[in-house]
Amino acid sequence: MARRVLALSAGSGATNNLIRSLRAGDSSLFVVGCHSDRFLLRKSSADHNYLVPSVTHPGFADALARIIEAERVELLVPDTDPDVRAVSELREAIPCRIFLPRKDVIEVCQDKFALTSFLRSHDVPAPLTYPVTELAEIDDLFRRFDSRSRLWCRIREGSGAFGAIPVTHPEQARSWISYWEEMRGIPATSFTLSEYLPGRDFSLQCLWKQGTLVLAKMSERLSYLGGASHPSGQSSTPALAKTVFEPRVFEVCSSAIRALDSETSGIFCFDLKENATGTPCVTEINAGRFAMITNIYDLVGKHNMATAYVRAALGEPLEIVGEHDFAEDYYLVRDPDTVPDVFHADQFFDGILEAGR
């Protein structure tokens, strides 16, 4: 019988990408989708789709249970940070398998300041970061850094460079935070200031089971979706990314996992940037969910990480152990309102004529 999974946030770009990866790896897989937004749900590529309350609604758990029973779901897959947080809280009440890290690991990873502080205390490279407690202390925080440094001002939670901007003097940070307080209702205490990392920008996705690495793949962000319109000029969402293999990046990520939980299971997505000396530093860990760009980790290489995740979660035998799966010279290309695609470097010239001058 075909394995049956329930994917949350169905119809979103992230979940449609994940479903595409799952079907590429196992066409027999039956995918059920659900979302609280009926308009996004209409775009879902799942086999069956259900409208549910939001993850913060008291009826969310009962709605999931009804879907799981009606559709004979074997595995529930959250695909956003709020989804992961909600499912983690409800894990004892969900009547099917889930494959998540421990609750405390998820909580640390979803608070960027808590994560950075934890990693630095365990000698894992991460940017020097201080929390903002009030606007009046911004000048004092700046003095804790090198006086010539550019700093990174960002919100402690969220993704896609949410509320992030590079700053060079206190007034810029103070004005930026004041704007978010006044216009978006986000208090100053939600912000941090950290050292600016000027180097290469990496993403690594890895699958673990009971403290053992199953599979790891990585890429480098080369340009950013809508980057020119962001105050920061960048985000965690690339328009162009390339498969790479950098052992030092994996070593940093592996050290972070061992520090967080040496017996962990589940999927982890790392964001890293090099500091001024070229050391990769962890800036973010999305614990328990796939990357928006998971297609570059599933559609090329020897192994499809999405289907490996399903097999690991369902307790099926895995022939993969501790593999760093690198497919050389593949690029992910993304643009709004188009399906992300992955090409080998040689394919970029296929079917294209050069007009010349």
Rounded Cα distance, 200 and 119, in Å: 20
The pTM for the full model equals: 0.93
Question: What's the number of domains the chain is made of?
Answer: 3
Q: Does 208 share its domain with 337?
A: yes
Q: Is residue 122 part of a domain?
A: no
Two structure tokens written together for 169: 């003097």
* Residue 40's CATH number: 3.40.50.20
Q: Is residue 357 part of a domain?
A: no
If phi > 0 it is left, if psi is from -120 to 50 it is alpha, else beta; for residue 209 that is: beta
The contacts of residue 112 (CB under 8 Å, 6+ apart) are 129, 154, 156, 157, 192, 283, 284
The contacts of residue 275 (CB under 8 Å, 6+ apart) are 125, 127, 195, 197, 198, 199, 281
Q: Does 334 share its domain with 239?
A: yes
Q: Is residue 47 part of a domain?
A: yes
Q: Is residue 103 part of a domain?
A: no
> Are the CB atoms for 31 and 23 separated by under 8 Å?
yes
**Which residue's entry shows tokens 């208090």?**
187
Q: Does 208 share its domain with 170?
A: no
Strand ranges (E), 246-320 = 266-274, 280-287
Q: Is residue 120 part of a domain?
A: no
Query: Residue-wise pLDDT tens for the chain (357 aa)?
Result: 689 999 999 999 999 999 999 999 999 999 999 999 999 999 999 999 999 999 999 999 999 999 999 999 999 999 999 999 999 999 999 999 999 999 999 999 999 999 999 999 999 999 999 999 999 899 999 999 876 678 999 998 877 667 889 999 999 999 999 999 999 999 999 999 999 999 999 999 999 999 999 999 999 999 998 666 666 666 668 999 999 999 999 999 999 999 999 999 999 999 999 999 999 999 999 999 999 999 999 999 999 999 999 999 999 998 888 889 999 999 999 998 889 999 999 998 888 888 876
What is the model's pLDDT at position 149?
76
Rounded Cα distance, 314 and 293, in Å: 24
What does each C-alpha distance from 169 to 132, 153, 175, 233, 331 come to in angstroms?
15, 11, 11, 18, 37
Q: Is residue 24 part of a domain?
A: yes
If phi > 0 it is left, if psi is from -120 to 50 it is alpha, else beta; for residue 264 that is: beta
Q: Does 286 share its domain with 236?
A: yes
Q: Does 44 share its domain with 168?
A: no
Q: Is residue 109 part of a domain?
A: no
Residue 22 lies in domain: 4-98
* Residue 228's CATH number: 3.30.470.20
Q: Does 321 share its domain with 218?
A: yes
What is the model's pLDDT at position 146?
79
Q: Does 136 share its domain with 178?
A: yes
Q: Does 233 share its domain with 336?
A: yes
Helix (H, G, I), strand (E, B) or coil at 210: coil
Write the DSSP symbol of residue 190.
G
If phi > 0 it is left, if psi is from -120 to 50 it is alpha, else beta; for residue 299 that is: alpha
What is the model's pLDDT at position 228?
61
